[in-house]
A = this chain, B = another copy of it.
Amino acid sequence: MKNDTRFTVVYHLHARNKAEAEHFSEKIGIEQSVEMPLDTVPGQAKHSLPELKSVEPLDESTWQTSISYPASIVDGDPTQLLNVLFGNISLLDGIQIMDVSDEIFTDVLKGPAFGIKGIRELLGVPHRPLGSTALKPVGLSAHELSERAFLFSESGIDIIKDDHGLANQQPAPFHERVSLCVNAVRRGEQKSGKRTLYFPNITASPQLVFERFYQAAEAGADGVLVCPQLTGLETLHNLAKLKKIPVMAHPSFSGSYIRGNHGFSITFYYGKLWRAIGADSVIYPNAGGRFLFSADQCKALNKQMKAEFCDYKPSLPTPGGGMNLETLPKWIEEYGHDTLFLIGGSLYRQPGGIKEATRKFQKILDDYGT
Which residues in A have some Cβ–Cβ distance to B below 8 Å? 27, 31-37, 39-42, 44-48, 72-73, 75, 77-80, 82-84, 86-93, 134, 136-141, 144, 163-165, 167-171, 203-207, 210, 227, 229-235, 237-238, 251-257, 259-260, 262-263, 285, 290-292, 344-345, 348-349
A291 touches B232 (CB 8 A): no
Bound-complex Cα distance A75 to B169 (A): 6
**Quick one: which of B48, B78, B93, B234 contacts A259, CB cutoff 8 A?**
B93
Residues of B within 8 A of A140 (CB): 42, 44-45
Given contacts A39-B349, A256-B257, contact A91 B206 (CB under 8 A): no
Which of the residues B137, B164, B170, B231 comes within 8 Å of A72, measured between beta carbons? B170
Query: Besides A33-B165, A91-B292, A92-B255, 16 other CB < 8 A contacts?
Result: A33-B137, A36-B345, A36-B348, A45-B140, A73-B169, A75-B170, A79-B205, A80-B165, A80-B169, A82-B230, A87-B227, A90-B229, A90-B256, A91-B254, A93-B292, A206-B207
Whether the Cβ atoms of B256 and A48 lie closer than 8 Å is no
The interface centre, meaning the residue of A47, A87, A164 with most chain B CB atoms within 10 A of its CB, is A87
Q: A48-B137, A165-B35, A291-B92 are in contact. Are A205 and B230 (CB under 8 A)?
A: no
Let me know if B48 and A235 touch, CB within 8 A. no
A137 and B45 CA atoms in complex are apart in Å by 7
- Give the distance in Å from the alpha carbon of A137 to the alpha carbon of B33 in the complex: 8
Among B82, B144, B237, point to the contact of A253 (Cβ < 8 A).
Answer: B82
Point out which of A140, A256, A344 has the most chain B C-beta atoms below 10 A from its C-beta: A256
Complex CA gap A89/B292 in Å reads 11
Q: Which 8 A-B pairs have the closest CB atoms?
A: A206-B206, A232-B232, A48-B139, A90-B255, A45-B139, A91-B255, A87-B252, A34-B137
Task: Evaluate contact between B165 and A87: CB separation under 8 angstroms.
Answer: yes
CB distance from A151 to the nearest CB of B (A): 13
* Known contacts A168-B77, A238-B207, A252-B90; A35/B232 CB under 8 A: no
What is the distance, in angstroms, from A239's C-beta to the closest C-beta of chain B?
A: 10
A46 CA to B144 CA, complexed, in Å: 14
CB distance from A251 to the nearest CB of B (A): 6
- Could you tell me if A203 and B83 are in contact, using CB atoms closer than 8 angstroms? yes
Q: List, in ascending order, chain B residues with CB within 8 A of A203's CB.
A: 79-80, 83
A25 to chain B, nearest CB (A): 14
Compute how far the CA of A45 lies from the CA of B87 in the bound complex, rounded to whole angstroms. 40
A30 → B minimal CB distance (Å)? 9
What chain B residues lie within 8 Å of A90 (beta carbons)?
229, 251-256
Are A138 and B256 in contact, with the CB atoms below 8 A?
no
Q: B40 to A345, Cβ gap below 8 A?
A: yes
Do B207 and A235 touch across chains, with their CB atoms under 8 A apart?
yes
Q: Do B37 and A83 touch (CB < 8 A)?
A: no
B75–A205 touching, CB < 8 Å = no
* Contacting residue for A83 out of B78, B84, B253, CB 8 A: B253
Cβ A252 vs Cβ B137 within 8 A: no
**A35: B residues at CB distance < 8 A:** 134, 136-138, 163, 165, 344-345
